[in-house]
C-alpha cells in the first residue's frame, strides 16, 4: 500500500482531532490522548517504512512528544513561574507601582505603565500567571480612576501575548516552533534571534491596544464592579502595635492610616481604655491594639509584610504586647488562609476565642471575624461568636483541611489559598535571573537551564514537590504531545511537503514576500480557531518545506509561524489569557472579535512590510 494512503489518513485524523478541540464536547486531555492512541493503532496496522523497509513511525517516535525538549522547557518554566508567584515578587512589585502611580500618573498613564510592565515581564515569564496577578491590579486602577474594567481587561491579555513574542522563552508557542526546528534537523533559534521583528510587532500592537482597543470595547462592567465594591466582604481584625512598628507616632484622621492602605480603623484598645471614632487627636503608641476592618486580600497582604502583628494575643502576663510564648503550627512551615463559618448549634456559639481555645484545638489561628448583619467594634478576642459568623483563619494546609471534619465549623469550599513565602523571594529571584542570563548567553541549552532552575526552586525550599507538580498543566502536556505526534506523522508521510508544494503551486510566480504574507495570515486565522500550541507545531514543518521549495532560509518562514501563531486575539479560545480576562471584564465572544480582528490585520500588515525588508527577500 502506497504512502499516499497513510498521508490522507493522517489528514483525516487531524481534521477529526481539530473538530473535537473546537467543539469542546470532550475534555481537551481526552481528545489529545485519543489522537495519540489513534495514530499508534493506525501506524501499527499500516506502517510507514523507509527505503530499507524499516518502520519510521514507531510507537517510540509517536510518543517522543512527551520527552520533547520544548515541552520539558515549557513545564520547567511553569515550575519556575510558580516559584516567582509563590514568593509574591510580582505582586509586591505591582503593589509598589500602584502606590507610586496614585500621586504621579494620570489615569491612562497609570494603565499604560502597568500594561508596559506586563509586556516586559511576559518576555521572560509565562504570561498566564502574569495575567492572573495583574487582573486585581487592573481592577484597582480602574476603580481608582473611575474607568470601566471592561475597557482594560482585554488590553491586559493582548499586552501579555505581545510581550511574549519578543524572546525565545516568552511563550510556549515560541519554544514549540523552536523544538519543531530541532526535530527537522534545522538550526534552532537563539534567545534573541527574532527580538527586533518581535519588538516592531509588539510596539505596533501595543499602540493599538492603548489607543484604539478601549474605544472599541463596551462600558459593560461599570455597574457590576460598583456593586462588588460596595458589597465587598470585610473582616474585623486586630493589629497589635509592637515597639518597632512604623505606625508609632502616626495619626489616623477619619479612621484611615496612610501606612495601612485598604484598612479602616474602627477602635483602639489602649490598656483598659477604648478609643472610639473620630480619631482626629489620636496618635499610635506601642502596645495599642488597633481594631480594623478590611478585605481578606488586604489582610493577607498585611500578614505577608507584617509578620505576626495580626495574630491576636491570647497569652496572659506577657511582657511584650503581641508576644506569643508558645510556638504553634500557625507560625511554622507552609501557611494558608481559609474561611470557616460557625455552624448552627455550634458549641462555639456564645464563647470568645480565648474561651474556646480555638488555636490550640485546631492548630489554626483566627485573624478576622465577619458578621453579616453589622460591623463589630470590639477586639476579636472579646467577640462572642454567633452562628453564621465567618472566621478568617491561618494554618498549615493539612490543618486547614482538618477543619472540614469538625462539627462546629463549616469550611467554605474553595476559600483556601496559600500565603506568599516572602522569605524565599530573594533566592527565587536570583534563580530566575540566573536561568534567563544563561539562556540568553547561549552557552548552555535552554532546556538545561530551565530544568536546573526548576530543580533549584525545589531544592532551595521555594517550592515543595507537590507545589511544583501542581504548576504543571495536564492540558499543556497532552496537547503538546499530541501536536508533536501529528506533526511527526505529517512529516514522515509527506503531508507537510504535499501542503507546501500545494501552496507553491497555487501562488505560482508570486514573490516569496507574497507567500510569506499569505502564510502569516493563514496561521493567524487558524490560531484563533484551535490551540496556538497545536498550530505552531503543525505549521512549522509545512513552513520549513515551503521555504526549501522557494529556496529561502527556513528560519524566515519559521519565524512567520511563530509570530502568527501568537496572534490569538480574535477569539477567547485561542489563548488561555483571553479566557482568564473574560469573566472579570464581563466580555462576550464578539468583544474579542471586535477588538482582536483589526489587531491581527495590523500585525499582518506590519509584518508583510517589515519582514521582507528585514530578511532581505
3-class secondary structure per residue, 418-454: ECCCHHHHHHHHHHHHHHHHHHHHCCCCHHHHHHHHH
Burial class (CB in 10 A: 0-12, 13-18, 19+), 522: middle
Domains, the chain, ordered by start: 73-223+432-470 (no CATH), 336-413 (3.30.70.1450)
Q: Give the pLDDT confidence score for residue 524 in this predicted structure.
A: 92
- Tell me how many degrees the CA angle 209-210-211 measures, rounded to the nearest 5: 100
What is the rounded average pLDDT for all residues in the chain?
81
pTM (two decimals)? 0.69
- CB count within 10 Å of CB 502 equals 12
CA distance 466 to 473: 13
Q: How would residue 223 be classed by pLDDT, with cut points 50, 70 and 90?
A: very low
Least confident window among 142-151, 301-310, 527-536, 560-569 = 301-310
Residue from 390, 389, 411 nearest 400 by CA: 411
- Inter-residue contact 125 to 428 (CB < 8 Å): no
All three cell numbers of 467: 507545589
Whether the upstream peptide bond of residue 237 has omega within 30° of 0, thus cis, is: no
* 443-479 pLDDT tens trace: 888 889 989 999 999 999 888 888 888 888 787 788 8
More confident residue, 100 or 584: 584
- Inter-residue contact 611 to 556 (CB < 8 Å): yes
- Inter-residue contact 375 to 234 (CB < 8 Å): yes
Q: Give the pLDDT confidence score for residue 478 in this predicted structure.
A: 86
- Inter-residue contact 339 to 393 (CB < 8 Å): yes
Residue 18 clears pLDDT 90, i.e. is over it: no
Q: What is the arithmetic mean of pLDDT over 52-61? A: 85
DSSP sequence for 469-523: HHTS-HHHHHHHHHHHHHHHHHHHHTHHHHHHHHHHHHHTT--HHHHHHHHHHHH
Least confident window among 67-76, 409-418, 589-598 = 409-418
Q: Give the pLDDT confidence score for residue 330 in this predicted structure.
A: 64
Q: What are phi and psi of 230, to 5 degrees?
A: -70, -30
Amino acid at each position: 500500500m502506497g504512502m499516499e494512503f497513510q498521508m490522507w489518513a493522517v489528514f483525516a485524523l487531524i481534521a477529526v482531532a481539530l473538530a473535537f478541540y473546537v467543539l469542546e464536547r470532550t475534555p481537551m486531555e481526552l481528545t489529545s490522548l485519543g489522537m495519540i492512541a489513534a495514530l499508534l493503532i493506525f501506524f501499527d496496522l499500516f506502517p510507514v517504512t523507509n527505503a530499507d523497509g524499516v518502520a519510521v513511525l514507531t510507537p517510540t517516535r509517536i510518543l517522543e512528544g512527551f520527552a520533547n525538549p520544548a515541552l520539558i522547557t515549557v513545564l520547567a518554566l511553569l515550575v519556575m513561574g510558580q516559584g516567582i508567584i509563590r514568593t509574591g515578587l510580582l505582586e509586591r512589585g505591582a503593589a509598589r507601582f500602584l502606590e507610586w502611580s496614585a500621586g504621579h500618573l494620570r489615569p491612562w498613564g497609570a494603565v499604560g505603565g502597568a500594561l508596559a510592565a506586563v509586556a516586559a515581564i511576559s518576555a521572560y515569564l509565562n504570561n498566564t500567571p502574569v495575567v492572573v496577578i495583574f487582573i486585581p491590579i487592573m481592577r484597582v486602577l480602574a476603580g481608582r480612576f473611575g474607568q470601566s474594567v471592561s475597557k482594560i481587561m482585554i488590553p491586559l491579555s493582548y499586552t501579555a501575548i505581545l510581550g511574549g513574542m519578543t524572546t525565545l522563552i516568552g511563550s510556549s508557542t515560541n519554544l514549540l516552533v523552536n523544538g519543531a526546528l530541532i526535530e527537522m534537523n534545522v538550526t534552532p533559534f537563539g534567545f534573541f534571534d527574532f527580538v527586533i521583528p518581535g519588538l516592531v510587532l509588539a510596539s505596533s500592537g501595543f499602540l493599538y491596544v492603548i489607543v484604539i482597543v478601549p474605544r472599541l470595547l463596551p462600558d459593560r462592567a461599570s455597574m457590576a464592579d460598583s456593586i462588588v465594591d460596595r458589597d465587598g466582604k470585610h473582616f474585623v481584625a486586630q493589629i497589635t502595635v509592637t515597639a518597632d512598628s512604623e505606625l508609632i507616632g502616626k495619626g489616623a484622621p477619619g479612621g484611615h492610616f496612610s501606612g495601612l492602605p485598604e484598612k479602616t480603623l474602627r477602635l483602639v484598645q489602649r490598656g483598659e481604655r477604648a478609643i472610639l471614632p473620630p480619631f482626629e487627636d489620636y496618635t499610635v503608641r506601642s502596645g495599642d491594639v488597633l481594631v480594623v476592618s478590611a478585605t481578606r486580600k488586604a489582610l493577607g497582604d498585611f500578614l505577608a509584610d507584617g509578620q505576626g502583628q495580626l495574630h491576636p494575643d491570647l497569652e496572659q502576663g506577657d511582657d511584650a504586647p503581641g508576644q506569643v510564648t508558645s510556638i504553634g503550627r500557625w507560625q511554622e512551615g507552609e501557611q494558608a488562609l481559609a474561611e470557616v463559618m460557625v455552624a448552627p448549634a455550634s458549641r462555639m456559639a456564645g464563647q470568645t476565642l480565648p474561651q474556646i481555645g480555638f488555636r490550640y484545638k485546631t492548630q489554626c489561628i483566627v485573624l478576622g471575624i465577619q458578621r453579616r448583619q453589622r460591623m463589630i467594634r470590639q477586639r476579636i478576642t472579646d467577640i462572642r461568636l454567633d452562628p453564621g459568623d465567618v472566621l478568617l483563619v491561618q494554618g498549615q494546609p493539612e490543618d486547614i483541611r482538618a477543619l472540614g471534619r469538625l462539627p462546629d465549623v463549616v469550611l467554605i469550599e474553595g476559600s483556601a489559598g496559600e500565603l506568599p513565602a516572602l522569605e524565599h523571594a530573594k533566592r527565587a529571584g536570583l534563580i530566575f535571573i540566573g536561568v534567563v542570563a544563561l539562556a540568553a548567553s547561549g552557552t548552555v541549552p535552554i532546556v538545561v537551564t530551565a530544568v536546573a532552575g526548576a530543580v533549584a526552586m525545589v531544592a532551595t525550599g521555594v517550592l515543595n514537590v507537590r507545589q511544583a507538580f501542581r504548576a504543571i498543566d495536564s492540558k499543556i502536556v497532552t496537547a503538546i504531545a499530541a501536536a508533536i505526534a501529528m506533526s511527526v506523522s505529517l512529516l514522515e508521510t509527506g503531508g507537510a511537503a504535499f501542503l507546501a508544494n500545494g501552496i507553491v503551486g497555487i501562488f505560482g510566480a508570486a514573490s516569496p514576500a507574497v507567500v510569506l504574507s499569505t502564510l502569516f495570515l493563514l496561521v493567524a486565522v487558524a490560531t484563533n480557531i484551535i490551540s496556538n500550541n497545536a498550530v505552531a507545531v503543525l505549521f512549522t514543518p509545512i513552513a520549513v518545506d515551503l521555504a526549501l521549495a522557494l529556496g529561502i532560509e527556513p528560519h524566515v518562514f519559521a519565524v512567520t509561524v511563530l509570530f502568527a501563531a501568537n496572534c490569538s486575539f480574535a477569539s477567547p479560545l485561542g489563548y488561555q489569557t483571553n479566557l482568564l480576562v473574560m469573566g472579570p471584564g464581563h466580555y462576550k465572544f464578539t468583544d474579542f472579535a471586535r477588538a482582536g480582528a483589526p489587531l491581527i490585520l495590523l500585525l499582518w500588515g506590519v509584518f508583510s512590510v517589515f519582514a521582507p525588508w528585514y530578511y532581505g527577500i
